[in-house]
Amino acid sequence: MNSTLWTQLVIFSSLLAISLLVLIMKRTQPSKDFSSLSIRVKTWWGMFLIFMFATLFNPVVSLLSLMILCFFALKEYYSMMKTRKVDRRAFLWAYLSIPIQFYWIYIEWYGMFIVFIPIYVFLFLPLPRILGNKGTVGFLRSVSSTQWGLMLMVFGLSHLAYFQFASPVYGANLVLFLVLLTQLNDAVHFLISLYLGKKKVIPTANPHISWEGFVGATIITTTVAYLIFPYLTPFDVTFGIISGLLIAFGGFFGALTISVLKRDLLLGETTKATTLKESYLSRVDSLTYTAPLFFHVIRYFFDFM
């Protein structure tokens, strides 16, 4: 059995143990809300299965899976917005940009991949609204909110798919390293904030984000990165530690940003907020930041990307 299969077996065993631990915690402490932690564990399993099949069979599997993930994340984001009928044409163009963005990944056209949404979609997205003579009321809010969703849910997350095409040798394991550490960082932050968190960062938007959780999660995420980087990455010790710090900080700011964003979009929408509690955005919030940060830092410092 090669090292990749051994690594996947260890990760599978760890996820199984964590899942059982969460189940025990939920049953022994019914008064506490572990829904956020349960979401993270489900995300671990989903991402692990995607990249296991991608590693064993074909990277196109992960490409298609992540494209579907981006679609549902963007769809959920748009469902939170207070929109009018005139905004839906822009949404349609936004959805159509998803397969195009992933096509650039498939043909490994890095230049177009990196500028398509930030530049070309940004420039041309307002045109359907302008040429449709739909008026000027709400124009800026409509266009900017649509672009924001594309940048986070499609451009940011699509970097996860590019790893395997940019580096066929290390790509799958790098994504596994990134996703596991990002979700671990979120889970540890949640637990520390739940039991020890006193100083909330943004209590009105997310009571589970605290400064104690940030410090504790950063220490644990960096420590785990130091322990597992020899098995999943080609990094040296220094960059293994830097990777842990980068993911911890990126995950914190990603969760923080999405929490405030959701709070703003769902202000006064109590029913919708409850319905979307276990949402795609809650699963990928940190990854919208950690994926592009991790990708570009590696690409800058290492030739294999």
pLDDT tens across 243-268, in order?
999 999 999 999 888 888 877 777 55
Q: What is the pLDDT of residues 37-72, one digit of tens each?
A: 777 677 667 767 766 666 666 778 778 888 988 998
Could you tell me which residue, 113 or 260, shows the higher pLDDT? 113
The whole-angstrom separation of Cα 226 and Cα 224 is 5
Residue 68, amino acid: I
Query: For residue 85, with 0-12 CB atoms within 10 Å meaning exposed, 13-18 middle and 19 or more buried, which class applies?
Result: exposed
> Percent of the chain at pLDDT above 90?
33
Q: Hey, which residues does 210 pair with through a beta bridge?
A: 200
Averaged pLDDT for residues 231-237: 91
d(CA 63, CA 34): 31
Residue closest to 290 by CA, chosen among 258, 250, 252, 230? 250
Instruction: Calculate mean pLDDT across residues 224-245.
Output: 93
Angstrom distance (rounded) from CA 69 to CA 173: 19
| pTM of the predicted protein model | 0.85
Query: Which of 120-124, 206-210, 240-244, 287-291 is predicted least confidently?
Result: 206-210
**pLDDT surpasses 60 at 182:** yes
The Cβ of residue 199 has, within 10 Å, a number of other Cβ atoms equal to 11
Angle between helices 211-232 and 171-195 (to 10 degrees): 150
Tokens 């699509």, residue located:
158
Mean of the pLDDT values across residues 13-38?
78
Mean pLDDT over 22-34 rounds to 79
Residue 17 amino acid letter = A
Which residue do the tokens 């990708």 mark? 295
Per-residue pLDDT at 277:
53
From CA 111, how far away is CA 127, in angstroms rounded?
24
Question: Lowest-confidence range among 118-122, 166-170, 210-214, 272-276?
Answer: 272-276
Average pLDDT over residues 146-167: 92
Question: 169: burial class by Cβ within 10 Å (0-12, 13-18, 19+)?
Answer: exposed
Q: Cα separation of 282 and 150, whole Å? A: 17
Is pLDDT at 285 greater than 70 in this prediction?
yes
Model pLDDT for residues 76-96, shown as the tens digit of each residue: 888 887 777 767 778 888 999
- The residues near 227 (Cβ < 8 Å, ≥ 6 apart) are none
H-only helix segments in 196-286: 211-232, 237-265, 270-275, 280-284
